[in-house]
Amino acid sequence: MSSVRKVFVALLLVMVASGAAFATDVTFQVNMSFQETLGTFNPAEDMVVVRGTFNEWGGNAEEVTDQGDGIYAGTFDITPGDHNYKFVIVAAGGDSWEDIDDRAVTVGDEAMTLDLVWFENQEPVEQTSVELLFQVDMQVQILNGTFDPENHQVVVRGSHPSIGDWGGAVAVLERETGSDVYSAWIEFADVAIGTAIEYKYVIVPDAGDDVWESSPNRSFTPTGEEEDSDENGFGEIVTDVVYFANVSADDILTSDLMVHFLVNVRPAFYKLADPDSSIIDVQTQDEITEITEVNVAGFFNNWPWGGFDAEHILADDGAGVDETAGDTIYSKDVQFFAGDPKELIFKFGLNGYDVEAGVEANHRVMLDVETAPYVIYAVFGTNGTLYDPYLGLVSVDPQENNTMPERFSLDQNYPNPFNPTTTVGFSLPEAGEFMLTVFNVNGQVVSLENLGHMQAGQYTATIDGSKLSSGTYFYTLQGNGYIATRKMTLLK
């Protein structure tokens, strides 16, 4: 054997031998028996997996299996180091993550078996049986046409088989005579004392998608001390009458309103161009490799992830409120109507995927019919942390010893020229909605920062040019009828 070949074989043997140190057998185990009792886990249909930093918090490859007596366990190859993780119930109706702080483990070079834990650290407790009177006022949904009493149903769904395990229509509410309140008594047998059961009201139409409440989950907690007035073995709990999605007649638009959506998608382009990062759909775990479509989703279109109609696909074509084509500022006009909620809860997506932020990390705006048309400026990803390293160029802070300015002003940046950051001072004589935009010499927007509602006072903005090329740029501050522009130079 030649000396070169001997060296190659020796190196190969070293690489193979050292490769064993790059993965360690780690056994995870969790007791699911109490979730079976609660009805939140069905071992015949659901699976339990481990997700954490070692699998990028996704996938079902690390499945723990039934070992008997409700104990689930599995052994997996884990890279040595510090890791966080959680157990997840994977069911047809969606994944259920442990609602606790991340679990932590330090993996070394030797195989290890982690201590047996209860799912959500929730050990069995004393049980009771209750019956609940659910009550929801559908007045607003009847007024705005979302709910048709003749053809639609109102149901309650939640984290218990009596209310469908977040699915089905097993608990249909009936309209009370002479009112818009829908109600039903529902029994819950053998539920844990002191453990909350969550639920939401849902509109089930005769055709099309179900409409869920946009408000946070509701809940009730059995105490074991409920009175059983009819002696049927179920203590009674009477919930307060609530408005569907917590939207009352005072919370809806009094007239039609056109809303202009504007979103700067530049952070997504930056992240997509980063070879060390990726854009992953939070629901399907599919990866985005290019941006072909920008969407806006909300309860106004029932979150149509995977299939948007043209009405909710934004464009970067320089038409309408999108002043410049090809500047990564996408826009769309969406019509809202009298009776729609004033609180607009929405999220932007890419290619029909939910990739802007985590689950329920949404933008929220209170619409005002006195400001028509209503313009919404947003930067993609500012409702979460997924795009923090790629967000806009501008940060704003109030100045110390703030005095009330007499007029609107925008100062020249300092230093100028700059590399890579520069500071801009500005004064606002009155409160209002403001934005700061940075343009290149071709008039293309390189940063659009929605500053939101700002109080009167003096402020300092820091502009970061680390992601820009050397050259001349312009920055514009506008709002409340004021507008001012200055020129700055970046030298690298």
CATH 2.40.30.10 describes domain 394-490:
no
> Is the full-model pTM beyond 0.85?
no
In whole angstroms, give the CA distance from residue 173 to residue 183.
5
> Which pLDDT value is given to residue 319?
80
Question: What tens digit of pLDDT does each residue of 217-246 get?
Answer: 999 999 999 999 999 999 999 999 999 999
Residue 422: its H or E element: strand 421-428
Residue span(s) of the chain under CATH 2.60.40.1930 come to 394-490
Region of poorest pLDDT, from 280-284, 447-451, 460-464: 447-451
Question: What tens digit of pLDDT does each residue of 121-145 get?
Answer: 988 888 899 999 999 999 999 988 8
Question: What tens digit of pLDDT does each residue of 347-360 get?
Answer: 999 999 999 998 88
Residue 20 in this model has a pLDDT that exceeds 60: no
> Which pLDDT value is given to residue 6?
52
List the helix and strand counts (H, then E) for the chain.
4, 35
Assign domain 127-249 to its CATH architecture: Sandwich (2.60)
Question: What tens digit of pLDDT does each residue of 32-86 get?
Answer: 998 988 788 999 999 999 999 999 999 999 999 999 999 999 999 999 999 999 9
> Which pLDDT value is given to residue 328?
84
Beta bridge partners of 315: 331
> Which pLDDT value is given to residue 125?
82
In whole angstroms, give the CA distance from residue 131 to residue 403.
60
Residue 8 in this model has a pLDDT that exceeds 50: no
Task: Find the mean pLDDT for residues 102-106.
Answer: 96
Residue 17 in this model has a pLDDT that exceeds 70: no
Q: Which superfamily is assigned to 257-384 in CATH?
A: Immunoglobulins (2.60.40.10)
Residue span(s) of the chain under CATH 2.60.40.10 come to 3-121, 127-249, 257-384
In whole angstroms, give the CA distance from residue 424 to residue 364.
29
Pairing of strands 471-479, 432-440: antiparallel
Region of poorest pLDDT, from 27-41, 102-116, 176-190, 398-412: 398-412
Tokens coding 334 = 């969406």
Q: Which fold has domain 3-121?
A: Immunoglobulin-like (2.60.40)
The pair phi, psi for residue 9, each rounded to 5°, is: -65, -40
Give me the half-sphere count of Cα atoms (radius 13 Å) on the Cβ side of residue 328.
Answer: 20
> Which pLDDT value is given to residue 12?
47
> Which pLDDT value is given to residue 315?
94
Question: How many residues are given for the chain?
Answer: 492
